[in-house]
Amino acid sequence: MGDTRSDSGVLPVSIIIPARNEEANLGSCLDSLVGQTGCSFEIIVVDDHSTDRTREIALSFPDVRVIDAGPLPDGWTGKNNAVTSGARSSRGEWLLFTDADTVHLPGSLARALSEAEESGAEMLSYSPEQIAVTFWEKAILSVVFAELARQYPPARVSDPNSTAAAANGQYILVKHSAYNAVGGHGAVASSILEDVGLARAIKSSGRKIRFRFGAGVVCTRMYRNFGQLREGWTKNLALLFPRPAWVAAKTLALWLLLPLTLALTGTSHLWWLGVLAVLFVYLTARMGRSNFRLSSRVLGVLFGMPMFSYLLLRSKRAHAKGNIHWKGRTYQGTEYSMAKDEPSTVPVGKSA
């Protein structure tokens, strides 16, 4: 791995990976990173109180530095504490925050660095290509990412004249000086949407951000079963959409047009078949922003839309009740108690 420091000890890039019980993912992630070429870098894995083989796997890579996240301060999320610990010990001119469930294509780091520098962006974030394996992954994720692209259009986010700001925490490349200038993750210490919060801080400071789909750069399989998927989107969805109940109602209403039109085809007016076909094509095309294959978009139309509405409402209800669970940490009221022996206090719905 290219770990050649200048005389000042500064590297072009520090890659920081927060990892909490990531034994299923971390090995593949590190395999894809240690072989990157075209620029010098260091890799820092921050072990966030893992109870599985996460630390052992990280230590099996001799060129990877492994540090502890340390105690969780009051008012901080687990992830924000972990990445801040990594940034504090980093030496890179640029920081790449990436998650343990990502896989990075060969040469992608150097290309991303060049893209950021050539575009004049002080923050570059990719929305990774999603690997969907199970039925519900394909059906639900195609709807989720289509709606996210509608809520956070990459062209507007990347436009310096627009106030829109967003980022995907699975891949954020940010200039170290800009990161420090806005207070880093400490400025969004209690936020569960630390990626969007950090993007807003960078953009509101007058710095340019760039956001786009990361095909050919990075891919990820976010969740491996329906339980993980439900828990993960329950944590996030209500915070990603300003009016989650409205988005849920609108999505469900659009989906209900399908069975209603299908029922009308049983009448003597056979032209309803044409209406049904046009509606189905429209809804499938509406999923195009998700960057999923046609087969997944069809599943999204048939089954994913009502499930997306359900998850939005479930997320809204969970946040309202202060009942959010994620990676062994539970949010209750204005406090949450973590699994085992990590007591702390964090505002409800504001930790990861």
- 155 falls within a domain: no
Q: Distance (Å, rounded) from C-alpha 74 to C-alpha 347?
A: 9
Do 196 and 66 share a structural domain?
Answer: yes
SS3 3: coil
Q: What is the pLDDT of residue 322?
A: 76
Q: What is the pLDDT of residue 41?
A: 97
Do 257 and 220 share a structural domain?
Answer: no
Q: What is the pLDDT of residue 331?
A: 45
Residues of the chain with pLDDT under 70: 1-10, 266-270, 328-352
Cα–Cα nearest to 5, from 81, 114, 92, 68? 92
Do 220 and 106 share a structural domain?
Answer: yes
- The model's pTM: 0.87
Q: What is the pLDDT of residue 11?
A: 83
Per the CB < 8 A criterion, the answer to whether 170 and 99 are in contact is yes
For position 77, which CATH number holds? 3.90.550.10
Do 241 and 211 share a structural domain?
Answer: no
Do 232 and 262 share a structural domain?
Answer: yes
Enclosing domain of residue 207: 11-128+168-224
- 153 falls within a domain: no
Q: Distance (Å, rounded) from C-alpha 128 to C-alpha 222?
A: 10
Do 216 and 265 share a structural domain?
Answer: no
Do 174 and 27 share a structural domain?
Answer: yes
Q: What is the pLDDT of residue 74?
A: 84
Which amino acid is present at 351?
S
Q: What is the pLDDT of residue 260?
A: 87
Do 320 and 185 share a structural domain?
Answer: no
Q: What is the pLDDT of residue 9?
A: 62
Do 202 and 271 share a structural domain?
Answer: no
Q: What is the pLDDT of residue 335?
A: 28
Residue range 317-333, pLDDT digits in tens: 988 887 777 776 664 43
Total domains, the chain = 2
Do 285 and 303 share a structural domain?
Answer: yes
